[in-house]
Amino acid sequence: MPRMTGIELIEKMRTAGMVVPVIMASGTLPKEELAQSPLLQPIATLPKPYTALELLQMVKKVLGETNP
């Protein structure tokens, strides 16, 4: 993203009261930044590079876990 990092986006979403599952796709997971606050924790991570099938499977898994 050109104007903010994924962590900044999660922070803005949480500050706005948005409760949505976040899948963080990253070549390098910012573990130190994520450890600073439980609110920043994505529900899942997807290491880059990933295939369309891997993304679809992760979305299905996350939605299955968040929707009873």
* pLDDT digit string, tens, across residues 4-23: 888 888 889 989 999 889 99
24 DSSP assignment: E
Q: Is the pLDDT of residue 57 over 90?
A: yes
Task: Specify the pLDDT at position 66.
Answer: 64
Task: Specify the pLDDT at position 68.
Answer: 54
Helix (H) or strand (E) holding 52: helix 52-66
Instruction: Return d(Cα 65, Cα 35) in angstroms, integer.
Output: 22
Task: Specify the pLDDT at position 58.
Answer: 94
Contacts of 45 (CB under 8 A, 6+ apart): 23, 24, 25, 26, 29
Contacts of 41 (CB under 8 A, 6+ apart): 34
Give the predicted TM-score (pTM) of the model: 0.72
